[in-house]
Amino acid sequence: MKVNFKNLEKKIRIKFKNIDLMTQSLTHKSFDSIKNNEKLEFLGDRVLGLVIAKKLLEIYPHEREGVLDKKFASLVNKNTCLEIAKKINLDKYILTFNSHNKKIKIEDKIISDCCEALIGAIYLDKGLNSVEKVIINLWDNHIKKSVVTEIDAKTKLQELSLKKYKMLPTYKLFSNTGPRHKPLFKIGVKLMNTKYFISSGKSKKDAEQKAALECLKTQKL
């Protein structure tokens, strides 16, 4: 079955030298049990990860590894690949059949896998520089929006304490006042060599976060 990929090539700004690679990248195993996109999807997943990791290091050269890891995960997961694929109407080009030789409904996983397989095909056909340009162009908005909330104060303090003292911070509930519908918790936290830093909050979690933040302000990060 021949498929016209001209519109898709325009959207990704790539002209394939070997159109068979492009076809294979969009061929589900239900259509062809041998020449399908499974290995290209495997390759594309790795290429995507490499390009996104490199881009994040360029954008955030001083960011901590933990934050970079969260940003990375949000950019290479199946949901993001699915959004990218739908943006370029990739599902229109995917080749699938069921046991009765009828085109089956294309599941989201198949679409996102094809997105990665297409990346693998571009890499093999055009090389790393070209596939990097395609990925950065398609993922541009997602990269700009990859504002993963900064790791919370309690987590930061835990990482710091484990690194410096090989032990967790100590939290202590000093008081629980106010009516049941509007409680006020006063909680303190200390590291091995510090006093308790005490803060109040409407919940234990809120009070712990505030106390951890006060403690962090006194530490060299």
Q: Is residue 116 flagged as an active site residue? A: yes
Q: 41, 45, 91, 125: which one is catalytic?
A: 45
Name beta bridge partners: 175: 186
Q: 41, 113, 116, 132: which one is catalytic?
A: 116
Distance CA 31, CA 171 (A): 58
105 three-class SS: coil
Q: Is residue 159 flagged as an active site residue? A: no
Those residues with Cβ within 8 angstroms of residue 212's Cβ, 6 or more apart along the chain or in another chain: 152, 153, 154, 156, 157, 169, 189, 197
Backbone torsions φ then ψ of 95, nearest 5 degrees: -100, 115
Those residues with Cβ within 8 angstroms of residue 145's Cβ, 6 or more apart along the chain or in another chain: none
Distance CA 111, CA 86 (A): 8
Q: Counting Cβ atoms within 10 Å, is residue 85 exposed (0-12), middle (13-18) or buried (19+)?
A: buried
In Å, how far from its chain's centre is CA 16?
28
Q: What angle do CA 130, 135, 137 make, to 5 degrees?
A: 95
Residue positions annotated with a catalytic role? 45, 116
